[in-house]
Amino acid sequence: MYKITLEHIMHSYEDKEVLQDFSFSFEQGKRTCLLGPSGCGKTTVLRLVAGLEKPAKGVIKISETVVSENGAILIPPHQRKIGFVFQDLALWPHFTVYDNIAFGLKENKEKNVKGKVAELLDLFGISDKAPKYPHQLSGGQKQMVAIARSLAMQPEILLMDEPLANIDAHLKERILQHMKDIQRQQQFTMLYVTHDQKEAMNTGDYIVVMNAGKIEAAGSKEEISHSSSRFVRSFIKT
């Protein structure tokens, strides 16, 4: 179980400042939701934790090890023991479902690749889809494959960037419940980005509400519901 700490992070894209002196510690083994309007810097936090972006300033620690510091990536993404579910899912279109999940395992020379993939396919109820290509799947099935792939390397941290943005409410609820069960069982640290306050309340043990690159409020669902911040109250209401 890994704890993630961000200290005084500054980050910008070209001239636009996205994160301003952002500091926070994400609890190990818990589900934390990053909630906020579009462009507030939620995805950037996730990408910084993953090591896909370098922080212009500040320090990022995973389990007390400094992984990124002041414009440098000290530990590359694949050595951080993370899984990432991208907003566009990023399923490789030329690989089958089986290959999408097995690719990382094979390349990292893991043992019993077939068994591990079969276990994951079974866990998400998509065993019959193994030989299919991504374009042959429905939206919900694609989400399942993307999540299964992110769990293949048995990560200590799972980062999810609005992975359920484009599916219906009923299916969304089912997948979320499934994810929560898996997280409880495997006890990895989970960071979940969304702009949907209902989804955040339904998913997270903790909620971090962001606005314009800063944290407006952070705490349990109850604490967020009773926040004194005007922005948080108006955002939660909408």
Residues near another protein (CB under 8 A) are 50, 52, 76-79, 82-84, 86-88, 90, 92-94, 103-104, 107-108, 133-135, 149, 152-153
Hey, what are 160's tokens? 């999810």
Nearer to another protein, 102 or 232 (CB): 102
CA distance linking residue 108 with residue 65, whole number of Å? 23
Query: Tokens representing 98?
Result: 């089986």
Would you say 49 and 159 are in contact if contact means Cβ atoms under 8 Å apart? Answer: yes
Of 104 and 219, which has the nearer Cβ to another protein?
104
Task: In angstroms, give the least distance from the CB of 53 to another protein.
Answer: 10
Tell me whether residue 52 or residue 130 sits nearer to another protein (CB atom): 52
Q: Find the shortest distance in angstroms from Cβ 123 to another protein.
A: 18
Cβ 48 to another protein shortest distance, Å: 13
Helix (H) or strand (E) segment spanning residue 18: strand 16-26
Q: Based on CB atoms, which residue is closest to another protein, 16 or 170?
A: 16
Closest CA to 210 of 77, 53, 52, 22: 22
Length of the chain: 238
Six token digits for residue 225: 């519901």
Nearest distance in Å: CB 91, another protein: 8
